[in-house]
Amino acid sequence: MKAPFGTATRSDLWLAVALAAAVIVGTAIGAVRRVLQILPNQDVPVEVYFESQQQAIAIAGLAEPVRVDLDHATIRVSDLAPASYVSAIAAVVVPAVAVIGVMVCISWLCRNLAGGVFFSRTNTRLVTTTSLLIVGGWLVSSLARTMASNGALATVTPEAADVSVSMQFSPMYLFIAIVVGSLAAAFHAGERMQRDAEGLV
């Protein structure tokens, strides 16, 4: 279905495409830099989440240590085991690929809308793919981070088995995926109504 768009709306859509391209470039550069830190398998930064606990830490500019609640920290380890090494790389690559994939889908969708194409099978698939990328990237990256955290702790100390590492599942990503999935359902319904209307003409 072709829907008319004004000049201002088309400009907004193309601006969204430009912003998505900027996000793609920034995400790719950031991911490459982080992977390059991991590849030598020396002094690898690994973020570890654990049960909240109070610790006294020194803060620059303060004379005495301050007690704070800690629930995560970044530790640096070398010579990670193969599984942990791959997990550390996946924890960087997977979310980056998901973000880039989402931005590509959004750019493609905006281009179609700017061209006056609203309800179409392509647009429905783009919105559905966006939702799946959000969910898949969220789940796989969370699993990879947890595996990398466990491996990093095991490399640092043999007492790592006594440390409770928590898996991070932010409900925000699930909520966003549900919203986008609802939009996909709306696009699919509009596409079906469009086909039915064309069949009556």
Q: What pLDDT score does 66 carry?
A: 84
Domain count, the chain: 1
How far is residue 9's CA from residue 141's CA, in Å, rounded to a whole number? 35
On whether residue 162 sits in a domain, the answer given is yes
How far is residue 48's CA from residue 76's CA, in Å, rounded to a whole number? 10
On whether residue 54 sits in a domain, the answer given is no
Question: What is the arithmetic mean of pLDDT over 122-141?
Answer: 92
On whether residue 2 sits in a domain, the answer given is no
Q: Which residues pair with 55 in a beta bridge?
A: 68
Express each pLDDT in 159-183 by its tens digit.
Answer: 655 555 666 667 788 888 888 888 8
On whether residue 192 sits in a domain, the answer given is yes
Question: What is the arithmetic mean of pLDDT over 140-169?
Answer: 76
On whether residue 193 sits in a domain, the answer given is yes
On whether residue 67 sits in a domain, the answer given is no
Q: What pLDDT score does 164 carry?
A: 57
On whether residue 96 sits in a domain, the answer given is yes
Q: Indicate if the pLDDT at residue 34 is higher than 80.
A: yes
How far from the centroid of its chain's Cα atoms is residue 43's Cα? 25
On whether residue 30 sits in a domain, the answer given is yes
What is the domain extent for residue 165? 7-47+80-200
Q: What pLDDT score does 104 carry?
A: 96
Q: What pLDDT score does 196 carry?
A: 66
Express each pLDDT in 65-100 by its tens digit.
Answer: 888 888 778 889 999 999 999 999 999 999 999 999
